[in-house]
Structure 1
């Protein structure tokens, strides 16, 4: 199924039939959360006609669970000129506490964003939505996917529009970014194996009479876990869980229960009052086996879900979008063959699997209760506290800067690695050169093969001799310790296109 252009179909009911026309989008993005918004903005900025389908009415919801942007995501946003706006409204935190005693120092990260940024998901969505609209993405709200069929030339999507009106849309490719209960994933018949890890997690937005001592307050004691994060508008989000309170999601929730769990986990409830929202949910660990089925792709929570530990959920989805968007744009515009799209599965599925393992491991160790699990946590905490390389590995995994993508056999050692925001000759930096979805060739020697809005040529600010071709998502596509114009030209043709 992965990497093939076969035929996938579901029963689809529609009152009209749509044929491809100049007005049809080349890509349909289903879901307007952060992952879908970044993807749509990238495609529209690259000149690819893109339509976003969202089953909800238009509006940015404050009912989000994500509150953290990590370094690698901030780097991706900086390469789109968006990080500065978000840094202005968020609050940086240079330390991440795990298991109560272990502190991960983010100030040592090899990134200009050597911190995590605390801000609610809706602030990220505002910035991404504005960018997508300005770039020309078409949004259709109150439109829910009910089925799809695909063939060698494209995908036909059946949807219910406002007022229950049925319609069909035709596109070259479809990307499902429509969350854990993805209609796109169901339509292509892919399973979502995994299990519920934590049941009856409580959520509340509350005012506090006392300000917590830390920007992010999190702890687990015995059977209770609690997390506090500020919205920035006078309210705090509370996420809590008690091992002994295993009830259905629909069970009524009141502020007294939230306060009790918080007191058990944090030692006090900080005078919680005026709850404006209360809810329950359960936290699953699941991953779809294939991120691609023919012309249909899955990203974000439609492809993987995991516990909130480490704040990696929204970040992983945004990085999925950054990986897929430039590849779709290159294929749709004819600058690359469709085989490039196979690399999305090869590169992002292992990252999703690693995030499931790390976030799940954090939760299990944080909630350790049996003597042997407590001993394992104590041993791991002591090891990480004493061994710098291991601690840096943990920080790199949680923040995303430590991941690299697979490289072909015999490739240069840098191929597939992330390139930091290096300084370039003339006073610029890499993230600025990447803006516009371009490749960037960084070379110590003159090279006249720039290709307009698809390839920028830059030179190292220092004395480095290696030549690297950086992909639009900031990873090395090709590198050589020394290369002449002919070798560079061949690499550019192979990766950037003619």
Structure 2
């Protein structure tokens, strides 16, 4: 559907996703690919905006995109960087990441959105543009959204579940009464899309000096996105902005303005740190910026939202399709809320260190930089958090050490890769060669190496179950119950 709200059958086995940014597009595409009827409701008109602030796609997100067959085409639209500079002399080397994507990808968010939008279209997602959510009610077996179309005409949409991926000012979050505690960390950040007379030496140009911070990244069409902040100029977002102010911030932070000219767009915004206390209220769930917002430092915002969607999609599809108990949805909040909190801490810490000004904070930054430079485990942990590679989910007591951990892409015995096998949206059971699996209905692969561990990989690429010695064979009753009901048709 395009642009006009309709009245769907109450409590059918469908899902409404509100918000067509990257998080909503990935989630809707996953649900539709799993056979779930999906309507994606969007307040804006049908267009991909170039006004997004995200320019960095990290390794874990690229792996999730690879599991959907999208990573290679998105990489062709951007440029790779094997080192990420955070503040001062501190930069992190990504080339040693145990990933097919041992780098970060510099690419405008709209290129990611284009690929995800095409996939959602092909999977059969129904789009409802220029449709604003005005209210919500839910019962024991469904949710009804009150909406208004572009002409102000009210209507209702009903589904089994609703997911709010509608950003920081989420109408869905507000409708279920969830607070969004936190604070504005940086006010009067300036954005500008400009041409440059001088090309920067680095793909990403970023630095902070005194009260000024600036970041420059290429769109790839001859324009560059400039993000800047001058702590000494704290004005409202509505205050007029001209190119001279942007150039002045760049000169303060970077030592030069690279001959900025021909600005095609400029704006101000403020950066908040906020997180909803819950990601689920009954049949309503939140993901992406509707659930958490962070400072832009480290480029983790869009990445965290996409990984929320990858975690939620297969679980919600399993429940709606009657293949798992509703309790499986509780694991979404249990797994993703702590990670959202960790990203708040790490991105906020990067900003505070980058803008250190007092002698004791400068000394603390110097000590941290030296510590991370000398201590490899600490550096590895920091890289793992920023790229998403290092995050793991809680495992039951007594579980195999691999349970809850991210499973790297591995080559399988038939020459394919694990993340190619995950493109079906199903669990993959990897067994040692010659090991029997005593059931039907589960995709089975074998290690290309001589590993003897049996490993059940979730659709989002994390280990659900593992056994050290599987020579006696594996049967479905070995697996956690919630995954058995999902995996076996």
CA distance in 1, matches of 2:182, 2:409: 37
Residues 439 and 496, structure 1, Cα contact 8 Å, conserved in 2: no
Matched, 1:235 2:223: yes
Q: What corresponds to 2:283 in structure 1?
A: 295
| TM-score, reference length from structure 1 | 0.94
Measure how far apart 1:490 and its partner are: 3.5
In the alignment, is residue 110 of structure 1 matched against residue 104 of structure 2? Answer: no
Which of 59, 76, 88 lines up with 1:71 in the alignment? 59
Shift of 1:99: 1.2
Which residue of 312, 318, 323 maps to 1:335?
Answer: 323
Extract unaligned runs of 5+ from structure 1. Answer: 1-14
Q: When the two structures are superposed, what TM-score results if normalisation uses the length of structure 2?
A: 0.96
Q: How many residues are treated as equivalent by the alignment?
A: 480
The change in CA–CA distance for 1:481 and 1:146 in structure 2 (over 3 A counts) is: same
- Helix, strand or coil: the match of 1:112? coil
Q: Offset of 1:485 from its aligned partner?
A: 3.4
How far apart, in 2, do the equivalents of 1:185 and 1:374 lie?
39
In structure 1, C-alpha distance between the alignment counterparts of 2:134 and 2:440, rounded to whole Å: 42
Q: Encode CA deviations 1:258-289: one digit per residue, 9 max, x unaligned.
A: 00000000000000000000000000000000
Question: What residue in structure 2 maps to residue 402 of structure 1?
Answer: 390
Q: Which ranges of structure 2 fall in alignment gaps of 5 or more residues?
A: none
**Secondary structure, counterpart of 1:29 in structure 2:** strand
Q: Who is 1:465 aligned against? A: 452
Q: Distance in 1 between matches of 2:190 and 2:368?
A: 29
What residue is the counterpart of 1:20 in the other structure?
10
Distance (whole Å) between structure 2 residues aligned to residue 289 and residue 57 of structure 1: 31
Report how far residue 351 of structure 1 moved.
0.2
Aligned partner of 1:185 in structure 2 is 173
Aligned to 2:190: 202
Question: Over residues 32-56 of structure 1, what are the superposed CA-to-partner deviations in whole Å (9 max), with x where a residue is unaligned?
Answer: 0000000000000010000000000
- Give the C-alpha shift of residue 335 in structure 1: 1.1
- Is 1:391 aligned to residue 369 of structure 2? no
Corresponding residue for residue 87 of structure 1: 75
What RMSD over aligned residues (CA atoms) do the two structures have, in Å? 1.5
Counterpart residue number, 2:436: 447
- Partners of 1:48 and 1:341 in 2: CA distance: 16
State whether residues 137 and 143 of structure 2, in contact with CA within 8 Å, keep that contact through their aligned partners in structure 1.
yes
CA distance in 1, matches of 2:440, 2:321: 15
- Does the aligned pair in 1 maintain the 2:42–2:129 contact within 8 Å? yes
Cα distance in structure 1, aligned partners of 2:456 and 2:6: 47
2:66, 2:403 → 1: CA distance? 22
The answer as to whether partners of 1:447 and 1:457 remain within 8 angstroms in 2 is no
Q: Deviation above 4 Å: which 4+ runs of structure 1?
A: 15-19, 448-452, 486-489
Tell me the CA shift for residue 353 of structure 1.
0.2
1:360 aligns with 2:348: yes
Contact 2:13 2:321 in 1 (8 A): no
1:286-331, Cα deviation, whole Å (9 max, x unpaired): 0000000000000000000010000000000000000000000111
Structure 1 pair 16–227 and aligned structure 2 pair: CA distance change class (3 A): closer
